[in-house]
Amino acid sequence: MKILVCTDGSVHSKKALEKAAEIASGCRVSELAVIHVYDNKPESSIFYWDESTSISEEQIRQLRKIIVEDKEKRKNILLEALKFFEDKGIQVRTIFEEGHPSHTIVQIAENEGFDMIVIGSRGLGGLNKIFLGSISSAVVQEAKDCSVLTVK
């Protein structure tokens, strides 16, 4: 069995890591991978402007710095998950992707033949959940050829 576990660093995603470790310890798991997907589109950011907005070179440098720092924070989420599994003696592969989270998770699971996706019931979305819908709900709806375990 191949398991793909999703993380965003939230409390619920840490519970998903724990459940995936429990499953991996009790079953024949041929592969366990942990994925973090970040959406780096301008409309998902607090920074938004259009062609009529004037932006200075300094503002562009600051924005680039913020984007790089955010990407590093997101990589650290995966490193924490990797350490979690290593501390339990469980071999895991990490996947770091940019894109729409639910679509990307489902696409990776499909392309790589995962049998199960383990995902927390809620993430770090906050108000985004109200406007965009839950990532975990979307994964449940979109996944066709694998089971989805939603962990509370």
pLDDT one-digit tens code per residue, 54-97: 778 888 888 888 888 888 888 999 999 999 999 999 999 999 99
pLDDT (0 to 100) of residue 51: 60
pLDDT (0 to 100) of residue 130: 45
Q: What is the mean pLDDT of residues 22-47?
A: 80
Helix (H) or strand (E) holding 73: helix 57-87
pLDDT (0 to 100) of residue 121: 86
Helix (H) or strand (E) holding 93: strand 93-98
Q: What is the mean pLDDT of residues 15-35?
A: 95
Q: Based on C-alpha coordinates, what's the Rg of the chain? A: 17
pLDDT (0 to 100) of residue 58: 87
Whether pLDDT at 24 is above 90: yes
Report the relative pairing of strands 147-151 and 31-38 from DSSP bridges: unpaired
In the block, residue with structure tokens 């996947």: 95
Which amino acid appears at position 83 of this protein? K
Which amino acid appears at position 112 of this protein? E
The domains located in the chain, with CATH, are: 2-44+55-151 (3.40.50.620)
Distances (CA, A) of 83 to 76, 80, 89, 133, 151: 10, 5, 10, 30, 20
Model confidence band, residue 38 (pLDDT cutoffs 50, 70, 90): confident
Structure tokens at 106: 């489902």
